Chains A and B, each alone.
Chain A
Amino acid sequence: MRDALKLGLVLMIICAVSGGLLAYVHGVTSEIIDERKAQEVADAMRVVLPSAESFEKLSDDELASIKADPKFADVDEVYEGAHDGSLVGIVAKVQSPGYGGKISLLVGMDPDLTVTGLQVLGHSETPGLGANIAKPEFISEFIGRGGSHPLAVDKDGGEISAISGATISSRGMVNGVNLVRDLVNALGIAGGVGR
Chain B
Amino acid sequence: MSPLKAFTNGIYKENPIFKLLLGMCPTIAVSLAVSNGIGMGLAATFVLVGSNLIISLLRKFIPSEIRIPCFIVVIATFVTIVDLSMEAYLPQLHQVLGVFVPLIVVNCIILARAEAFASKNGPVASIMDGLGMGLGFTLALVVISLIREPLGTGVIFAAADLGFDGIKLFPAEYAASVVTQPVGGFITLGLLLGLVNLITDKKKDKQG
A interface with B by C-beta (< 8 Å): 3, 6-7, 10-11, 14-15, 18, 21-22, 25-26, 28-30, 32-33, 36, 124, 126-129, 131-132, 134-135, 164-165
Contacts and interface: CB of A to CB of B under 8 A. Distances in A.
Contact of B36 (A32, A33, A128): A128
In the A-B complex, the 6 residue pairs with the closest CB atoms:
A128-B32, A29-B88, A18-B77, A32-B88, A29-B84, A128-B33
B184 to A, nearest CB: 11
A22 B74 contact: no
Interface stretch (B41-49, B58-66, B119-127): B58-66
A25 B177 CA distance: 42
Contact of A128 (B61, B66, B81, B153): B153
B73 A18 contact: yes
A15 B73 CA distance: 7
Contacts of B81: 21-22, 25
B4 to A, nearest CB: 32
Nearest to A31: B88
Contacts of A128: 32-33, 36, 149, 152-153, 180
27 contacts: A7-B65, A10-B63, A11-B70, A11-B73, A14-B58, A14-B62, A14-B74, A15-B73, A18-B76, A22-B77, A25-B80, A25-B81, A29-B87, A29-B89, A30-B84, A32-B88, A33-B84, A36-B91, A126-B29, A127-B33, A128-B149, A128-B153, A128-B180, A129-B32, A131-B99, A132-B160, A164-B172
Interface of B: 29-30, 32-33, 36, 58, 61-63, 65-66, 69-70, 73-74, 76-77, 80-81, 84-85, 87-89, 91, 99, 149, 152-153, 160, 172, 177, 180
A6 B89 contact: no
Contacts of A6: 63
Contacts of B36: 127-128
Nearest to A24: B81
A6 to B, nearest CB: 7
A134 B160 contact: yes
A126 B30 CA distance: 9
B63 A7 contact: yes
Nearest to B91: A36
Given A26-B84, A129-B180, A165-B180, A14 B65 contact: no
B88 A33 contact: yes
A98 to B, nearest CB: 14
A14 B77 CA distance: 10
Contact of A10 (B32, B61, B74, B152): B61
Contacts of B73: 11, 14-15, 18
B177 A164 contact: yes
Contacts of B99: 124, 127, 131
Given A25-B84, A29-B88, A14 B70 contact: yes
A158 B203 CA distance: 59
B66 A7 contact: yes
A95 to B, nearest CB: 18
B178 to A, nearest CB: 10
Nearest to A128: B32
A15 B76 CA distance: 11
A58 B76 CA distance: 39
Contacts of A126: 29, 32
Nearest to B86: A29
Contacts of A165: 177, 180
Nearest to A17: B77
A11 B152 CA distance: 47
Contacts of A32: 88-89
Nearest to A15: B73
Contacts of A14: 58, 62, 70, 73-74
